[in-house]
Structures are given as C-alpha cells and as structure tokens.
Amino acid sequence: MKMSQMYSPTLKETPADAEVVSHQLMLRAGLMRKLGSGIYSHLPLGYKVIQKVEDIIREEMNKAGAQEVLLPALQPAELWKESNRWADYGPELMRLEDRHKRDFCLGPTHEEVITDLIKDEVRSYKDLPFNLYQIQTKFRDEIRPRFGVLRSREFIMKDAYSFNPDKESLDESYEKMYDSYVEIFDRCGLDFRTVVADNGPIGGTDSHEFMVLADSGEDTVVFCSECDYSANLELADSDIEFTTTDDKPQELEKVETPGADTIEDLAEFFNCSTKKLLKSLIYQTQDGYVLALVRGDYQLNEVKLRNFLGTAALEMAPAEELFNDTGIVTGFAGPVDIPDEVRVIADPSAMAVVNGVTGANEADYHYTNVNPERDFTVDAIVDIREIKEGEPCIDCGAELTMTRGIEVGQVFKLGTKYSDSMKATYIDDNGKSQSIFMGCYGIGVTRTVAAAIEQNHDDYGIIWPKSIAPYSVHIMQLGNDEEIKRVSEDLYTALNQTGLEALYDDRSERAGVKFNDADLIGCPIQVIIGKNSLEDNKLEIKLRQTDEKLKINADNPVPKIK
C-alpha cells in the first residue's frame, strides 16, 4: 500500500479521553475512530490487523474441525424467553422493537440462536458431535464502555459452539478448543496465562479464561508459584456508581421461606432464575440488618470464599456457618454488629439487580422486590474479592502471586443448560431421548488486537508481533530524487510479489515525519531509502522491536529482508 493513497489519519497529540496505551495508540496511529461511547470504526490499517487475527483464528478453528457459519445479529426475543435470559441478561442486552411492536435484541452471544438452529435437525446420536463457529459483531450495553475496544459496546467476537452426545464427548471438544486457543494466542505473539474461571453455577473446572498479562487489565489473576492453582479474582471496581432512584425507601416485603437445600429449590420458590438469586448480595439495610447472600453450588474453597466475602466477613462468621453442605450460604440474618469498613459488600454485577431477592437461607429471612440504593445504604464499597500477594495457595501452601490480566478468550462447558430449556434432544443408540451436551468458546477479536498493543509498544508507538502486523515491511522513501524513487518503487513491487506485504511511504513529507509515523504504526521491518546510503549502493534497515540498525546491499534486497 502506498501511503500517499492510504486513508490513515495519524494524530500528533494523545486524545484526552484515551486512558490506556492501546486506546491512545489505536487512535494516534489511525487504526480506528470513535463514533459514540463504546462504538468504533476500524480504518484500513486497523482492519488489516483485525483480519490477520481472524485469519489465525480461522485456520486454527478449521484445523480443530470446527465449521464456519454466520448467524444473525438481530435476534427475536422469543428465543431469549425460552432460555430465560430475556429476563436474566439484564441491562447489558441491547433491546429493540420492530414496527409491529415485536421485541428483538442485538446478539451479545449466540447460544439461543445456535441451539434453535440445530435442535430440529439433529435427531440421532449419529448426527453428533460437531462444532460450529462464527466471527461476528456482538453488542453489549456495557455499563462502562472504556479503554477503546478493550471494553466496547460493539465488538468482534469469534464464538464457537460444540454439540456432543455426552459428557465425555464434550470433554474432548473442550480440550480441543482449549488447545486451539493456546495455539491461537501463541501465534498472535501474546504472553498469556490460562486461569480457572469462576463460572457461576456451573462451577468447577468447567471453564477457563485466557488472560493476556498487562498492567492495564481489568482482571486480577492469582497464580501459585508451585502448583497449577490459578484464579481470576475479577476485582470489584472500587468506584462503582450506583444508580439512585428518587423512590422513598420502602417497607420491604418479608417473605416466609422454606430454607431450601439447593439453589434451584430456592429459585423455584421465588419464581426467578438461579442467576438472579446468585446476584443477591450482602448489604446493610436501612434498619441495620445484614442480609446474607445466597450463592450457588460453587466449588468453594477457602480462597474463593475469602475472595468473595472478604476476610473481615469471614472473621465475623466462620465459613462453616456461612455455607452448609450443599455450598449454599446459610447466612447471618438479623441485626449483626458489623465494623464500618465492611458495611456494604458489593459486586459490580449487583447493579443489574433491581427488584431482586435477597436474604439468608433460613426460614423467614428473605426479602423480595429489593432495590440497591433505594432500600440499602450504599455508602461504602468494600472490595470483596481481595486476596493478598504472598498468601498461601489453597492447594499446596506455596506463595500466591498476583498480576493484572485482560480476558481475551473463554471456554465453557455448558452441559445441558440450553438444550434442556430449549428442548434440543437426540435419540441415543438405545432409542432413548437425551439432551444434547454443549460447549461454547469465545475470543474477543478486537480486544485481542488492543491487548497485543498493551503488551507490545514503547514511547514511540506500536511494536507489532510479526504475525499480526498490518504490513511486514515499511519502506521509507526519503526525498524525491529519481534514483531513490526508482529503488523504492522496485523494492515495493518486488516485496509484494514475494507475498511480503509492504507499506510504502511515498509521501512528500520530511524524513522526521516519516520516521515518527513508521515507529507509531509499528511494522516489524523498516527499510530506509535515502541519498547517503544509496551512494554506497546500500539500504538501511531498522528492526522496530530491537531498534537494531543494519545496512544491506541495494542489489536484489528482497531475500535479505525476508
């Protein structure tokens, strides 16, 4: 590509609202522009990088036997009602109405659509297993879009879904996807770790997240220095803004509850989803009551428990009192003397809870129609998942280390969650009807691009890993001398012919401008063609990553550049 013809507006100044390096550099290097909060247009250079990442993903998905499809972004509400997520997903779901007043959403993810797609056509065990994937724009009305495409409201995701006859087959698909992900992020040149994800009610090791290590990451991950233990603490934001309502505090409706044994029983009692129940949290009510949270059948170990409740809360009520055998909070309801600093223990996801249920797993200690802020004093928020550097690992006792990370991908074993609610079944080899087992596997494509920049930059700009660089070589023609022009043109043509894509700065700009732009854009190899070196029949090469400079003979330079 000749830069004189490329649409690539660069910026000298760092845009004021860009807090993290990747966001700043993506704007400055002319990779993207903002249209609205959390909405970005990708310009030629930026889109090229996106396509490189997509190509790597495609290759690895195909290699793993997954098949590419493209599903609608516009999705009828009926599907989401079938799975109960029309209610559960909360305000992050982008909802809209058509001219006939029918409800739709813009897909944040595609479990419903894909389950609906296959459920009437998969009949027998002979049709299974298979894996479908797509690369598509997703929509999420994030409460706080920020950091450019690291957390945007419209973003590109690769999502894959496996359909399996049983648990063992799902385990196999999961492992295959896990291995593919390792390959993909390796090939993208990223320094990443996998962590066991807190997978809500599914729990256990049924989900892993792929975390790119970077200080700007919103997640905090802990690793054991000795064993395999790892966890994503998903630290609660310390400055959560609660939406306040003008409503007066209300008399909460206290309900007689059975004190259920399982989270499902309790959810059924309240006629709501388990997820909603899981989001019920500890608050201090206006009359000084602490309502204990109900948390699902997590595989809770002490570290997680401490992450979740905070050390102070644990001291107040020992773990065994909080959790009964089934892993449900038995709770501490009623007036409890709580030190000021743990007055309110909240989770960012709590903001989604309006008209929620909260209470303890004990008869008569539940409230319904609970609204955070309206019904609770939310005047201090304590980081409930705090875990300290150097704490002993729960598995082996060695020291835990903490680091910040960016979640670029996640793999889940969904089991029969969606096939049950949406009735996706098959006939097994004994002629019996069974629910299909499902797995889902996501990669944030645009987030991966930004994460790569977070890890690969310096004061002058981006330093692209070779595999995802928009162009491999950046040719700088210094001056308009006929000989310089001819050598530059020839090199440009020759490189493109060998399949080494080149960016050619043929603009009539000063050398300084060209050098700065080349460092900013960050292609791995810079070739500088100027008067001084050409007189010695040489071209100058600079490697962006190491800043190493060398001269090569100007005759037949392509093999040397390769």
Q: How far apart are CA 476 and CA 561, in angstroms?
A: 14
CB of 524 to ligand ATP, least distance (A): 25
Please count the residues of the chain.
Answer: 562
The nearer residue to ligand ATP, 122 or 233, going by C-beta atoms, is 233
461, containing H or E segment? strand 461-462
Q: Closest Cα to residue 413, out of 252, 173, 109?
A: 173
The nearer residue to Mg ion, 153 or 542, going by C-beta atoms, is 153
The nearer residue to ligand ATP, 128 or 190, going by C-beta atoms, is 190
Q: Print the binding letters for residues 366-395 with Mg ion: x by CB under 5 A, - otherwise.
A: ------------------------------
Which of 28, 42, 48, 140 lies at the binding interface for ligand ATP (CB under 6 A)?
140
444 binds, options ligand ATP, Mg ion, none, Cβ within 5 to 8 A by partner type: ligand ATP
Q: Print the binding letters for residues 420-449 with ligand ATP: x by CB under 6 A, - otherwise.
A: ----------------------x-x-xx--
Cα 266 to chain centroid distance, Å, stands at 31
The dihedral of CA 516, 519, 523, 524: what is its sign? Answer: positive
Q: Closest Cα to residue 333, out of 361, 356, 314, 313?
A: 361
DSSP-assigned beta bridge partners for residue 207: 412
Which parts of 372-411 interact with ligand ATP (CB under 6 A)?
Answer: 407-410
Q: Is 141 a residue that touches ligand ATP (CB under 6 A)?
A: no
- Only one of the segments 372-380, 401-409, 497-505, 514-522 lies at the binding site for Mg ion (rule: CB under 5 A); that segment is 401-409
Q: Closest Cα to residue 206, out of 227, 226, 236, 178?
A: 178
Which structure tokens are listed for 405?
């990370």
Q: Print the binding letters for residues 92-121 with ligand ATP: x by CB under 6 A, - otherwise.
A: -----------------x------------
Cα 179 to chain centroid distance, Å, stands at 18
Which structure tokens are listed for 60?
């690895």
Provide the b/e sequence for 489-520 (b: ≥16 CB within 10 Å): bebbebbeeeeebbbbbbbebeeeebbbbbbb
CB of 7 to Mg ion, least distance (A): 32
Residue sitting closest to ligand ATP (CB): 444
Which structure tokens are listed for 215?
């200080």
| CA angle centred on 438, ends 437 and 439, rounded to 5° | 140
Which of 115, 162, 173, 410 lies at the binding interface for Mg ion (CB under 5 A)?
410
152 binds, options Mg ion, ligand ATP, none, Cβ within 5 to 8 A by partner type: ligand ATP
Q: Print the binding letters for residues 266-295 with ligand ATP: x by CB under 6 A, - otherwise.
A: ------------------------------
- For the purposes of burial, counting CB atoms within 10 Å of the CB of 406, is it exposed (0-12), middle (13-18) or buried (19 or more)? buried
Catalog residues that contact ligand ATP under the rule CB under 6 A: 109, 140, 142, 149, 151-152, 155, 157, 407-410, 442, 444, 446-447
Binding footprint of Mg ion on the chain (CB under 5 A): 407, 410
